[in-house]
Amino acid sequence: MSYWWIPAIILIALLFISFYKRYKMIKNMDSIAPESPNLKILTDQDYKKIVKHGLTLIDFWAPWCMPCKVQGPIVNEVADQMEGKANICKINIDENKRAAAEFGVRSIPTIIIFKDGNVVKKLIGVKSKNILIKEINRFL
């Protein structure tokens, strides 16, 4: 008697469990990390004033973007660690299209680092906390 179907059922069950865990993680991602008190939320009206002086990191994101939901808590940690050294900010590109268009943001998350109003670094995709802090320290 052949039992070839037993490994197939086990494989299907493992795949189902894996996909279900990812679904739950993504569904609950909004509640994972509250925004840091050191993080500034910018709009089309005020971003130029913030980037004009000093070092500023801006995370261009959207609420429907899964990689942005991964990047969000990382940016929060960077905001807490770099308090007083650099401005750490976020701009929702769905609500603030002018800022995204001005800097040519075509894919998100995009992180742009400004020094005294000039773009000094543009990072596309999810970046680790270490990479972001290394880039900020490079321009301090």
Q: pLDDT tens across 34-49, in order?
A: 688 999 999 999 999 9
Q: What is the crossing angle of helices 129-139 and 66-81, to 10°?
A: 50
pTM, two decimal places: 0.78
Across-strand partners of 112?
58, 122
Amino acid at 2: S
Catalytic positions: 65, 68
Model confidence over 69-82: pLDDT tens digits?
889 999 999 999 99
Percent of the chain with pLDDT over 90: 69
